[in-house]
Amino acid sequence: MPPRSNPSERQRRLGLELRKLRNSAGLSGDRAGALLDADRTRISNIEAGRIDLGHSRLRMLLREYGCPPGAYFECLLEMAADPGTGWWDGHRDVMSRSALDLAALESRCSGIRIHEPLFIPGMLQTQEYAEAVVRATGGNGDPTDRYVEFRLARQHTLTGPDPVPYHAVVHEAALRVHTGGTHTMRRQLLRLIELARLPHVTLQIFPFERGAYAAFSRPFVLFAGPTPELDTVYLEHPLNTVFLGDGEHIDEYGKMFERLSGLAFDPVDPQAAPEAHDNRDSISLIQHIMYAL
């Protein structure tokens, strides 16, 4: 079978991990190829996610690379065996490869931390708001309904029977931009409060009064993997999206998120009664903006 031309994020990530392990072991591509009775080109294709490696050969390679037995070792084997299929397959005719990869990553992560400066995060959007965002960002014509359907289906990760911990820092600007109009925004802000009261959801608002911050114009998502080595940073740009899996970037964005969280208002407390909000916090700001609409 010829090498695939468009590997999935999961396939690319497995290849990246194998490259990191090989480099840590001090093995050249030629030496690694010899372990598989193959050449450097095959190793290059495996590490780019273009070629799969069978379970027994992958296990042997991991041992030769010095990967110790444990959770990380087993997760790499599971990644290789994962067929990569899911509910998102029904949208392959409309959605981009990166959007499908994002849905697959959300389905297998163990936690999500997101910073969003301009829009309400997709996981927290109402249908009306999602429709307005899709129209505003260029989704026109018949596929628009499918884009919205896909976006809402992704929320199952947050609202399904086995939800993942979710922590969002949203800039006040996202609450004040009238995306879809006044009625849509009022319903969206009510939805924010509703979801923020879920025990696995942490929502913080970054207010204008805290001033500018280096990250405030950069949306990003941190996905916790099944082991820390498999954490991922997701960056979305107008022309392309990027999945980062190296430790340096993960540490950098992790520290950035902690700083944003520390500067933002206190999160919505699901146990607190409305009259308990005598100081400015995230829920009082959401309510203030909502009542002013």
pLDDT tens per residue across span 99-124: 999 999 999 999 999 999 999 999 99
- pLDDT of residue 143 exceeding 90, the answer is no
* This model's pTM is above 0.75: yes
Query: What CA–CA distances, in Å, run from 3 to 46, 54, 202?
Result: 9, 15, 42
Answer with the residue of higher pLDDT: 139 or 73: 73
Cα–Cα distance for residue pair 220/218, rounded to 1 Å: 6
Contact assessment for residue 235 and residue 241, using Cβ atoms and an 8 Å cutoff = yes
User: What was the pLDDT predicted at 216?
Assistant: 62
- 3-7, 223-227, 261-265: range with lowest mean pLDDT: 3-7
| pLDDT for the residue 275 | 55
- pLDDT at residue 20, as a whole number: 96
pLDDT mean across residues, the chain: 90
pLDDT of 202 above 60: yes
Q: Which residues, at least 6 apart from 22, have a Cβ–Cβ distance to it below 8 Å?
A: 29, 32, 43, 47, 65
> What is the reported pLDDT for 164?
96
Q: How far apart are CA 162 and CA 248, in angstroms?
A: 30
d(CA 267, CA 287): 13
Mention every residue, 6+ apart, whose C-beta is less than 8 A from residue 68: none
**Distance (Å, whole) CA 140 – CA 138:** 6
Burial pattern 239-254, b for ≥16 Cβ within 10 A else e, equals eebebbbeeebbeebe
Q: Is the pLDDT of residue 1 over 70?
A: no
Q: Work out the pLDDT band at 142, boundaries 50, 70, 90.
A: low
Hey, what domains does the chain have and what are their CATH numbers?
9-81 (1.10.260.40), 88-292 (3.30.870)
35-44, 45-54, 109-118, 205-214, range with the lowest pLDDT:
205-214
277 pLDDT above the threshold of 70:
no
Any idea which of 162-166, 246-250, 252-256 has the lowest mean pLDDT? 246-250
Cα 289 to Cα 117, 146, 176, 193, distances in angstroms: 16, 31, 7, 12
